[in-house]
Each structure stands twice: as structure tokens, then as C-alpha cells.
Amino acid sequence: MRIIVIADSHGAGSAVMKIVEKNMYTADMFIHLGDGEADMLNVLLEYPEIRLHQISGNCDLGSASPALQVIETVLGPDDKMVRLLAVHGHLHNVSRGTDELLRQAHENDCGIVLFGHTHRRFEMTEDGVLIINPGSCSLPRDGEPPSYAYLDITEWGVITEIVDLPQ
């Protein structure tokens, strides 16, 4: 299963559209981690067939999307369940570290946490939990180009990559 993870588009609908159009035939799911809900809604108008999970961010005023979502997927011949925790991060003190993310992951029995908010690429495994921030697809704050991430979840493990936005 391939999951495309996008965060912090902040009105850059064209960036989101590029990501979706580049990956729509290979991705099984898209997750937008907030601060760009309107950008994803416009993509859904164009491509209603994509499978999308949307998280609300601190700039998604009036959003009906959840602030936290546990996403389950079954894969492999043994029907192994993989649980992902998706949050924006502003309610989890991500600017100060990953402690709150880890606590939430363990509370929800999730092996993967996806978050945004900082506009900085981040990937690490801590206490058995894979934690990923894809960076921002419009306004990076880490000196790197705009980016998104993909996760390939297979019966052999998880392969991740943070990818520069296509030009």
C-alpha cells in the first residue's frame, strides 16, 4: 500500500494538485495533515475518486475535519493490521519535541505517527514508533525545497521517503 502524505499547503492549491496528479495512479491513499483543507477540497472536486484523509490544522478555521485520526489498513497474506496516527501537531507541542506524539501513539496502539505544523522535514523511530513530518509543500522552514512524503507499507515493513515537490 502506498500512502502520500502532504502537509501545510497554506493555499498553494497548485502544489497539492501537482502532488496528487503525479501520484494518483500509484497511491492507494492521500493524507493531508492540515493547514490547507481548502486545497484538498479543490483537488477532490477535480478527482473525487481519490481516497483522502484530511486532518484540521490551526489555520483551517471552521474545519469539520478531525484534529486527530487513527487510520487502519490491512495488508499482506496474514491480514496484519497497521495503525497510523495522523495529527497536525499544534495540539501536541511538536515544536518542543515528540513526547506527546509518542504518548498518543501508544494510547492508540499506532506504530506510525504522521504530523505537520513545523514546516520541517522529520523522520525518526523512537520507542518502536515511526514518526514522520513530510515538511511543507509550500512554505518550508528548514532550508529545503517544498516537499511531501510517501510510505510504502508492505508485508516486509515500511519504506518511507520525503520527496522534493516536482517542478
Q: In the chain, what are the domain boundaries?
A: 2-164
Cα distance between residue 23 and residue 122, in whole Å: 21
Global confidence as pTM:
0.95
- Is residue 144 within 8 A of residue 121, CB to CB? The reply is yes
pLDDT tier at 76 (50, 70, 90 boundaries)? low
Burial of 144 (0-12, 13-18, 19+ CB in 10 A): middle
Tens of pLDDT along 102-159? 999 999 999 999 999 999 999 999 999 999 999 999 999 999 999 999 999 887 889 9
For domain 2-164, say whether CATH 3.60.21.10 is its number. Answer: yes
Percent of the chain with pLDDT over 70: 97
Residue type, 60: D
> Which residue pairs, CB below 8 angstroms and at least 24 apart, start in 23-26?
23/150, 24/50, 26/2
pLDDT of the residue at 23: 97
Instruction: Look at residue 63 and tell me whether its pLDDT is greater than 70.
Output: yes
Instruction: Look at residue 75 and tell me whether its pLDDT is greater than 90.
Output: no
Cell (9 digits) for 115 = 504530523
| Mean pLDDT for the chain overall | 94
Cα distance between residue 106 and residue 70, in whole Å: 12
pLDDT of the residue at 77: 59
Which of 14, 29, 37, 19 is closest to 166 using CA atoms?
19
Percent of the chain with pLDDT over 90: 89
**Under 8 Å CB-to-CB from 156, ≥6 apart: which residues?**
none
Q: What angle do CA 12, 20, 82 make, to 5 degrees?
A: 115
Max Cα-Cα span within the chain: 42
> Which residue did the predictor score with more confidence, 85 or 75?
85
Q: How many CB atoms lie within 10 A of CB 149?
A: 23
Q: Give the mean pLDDT of 63-79.
A: 84
Cα distance between residue 88 and residue 90, in whole Å: 6
Give residue 63's Cα distance to chain centre.
Answer: 17
Q: Give the mean pLDDT of 34-48.
A: 94
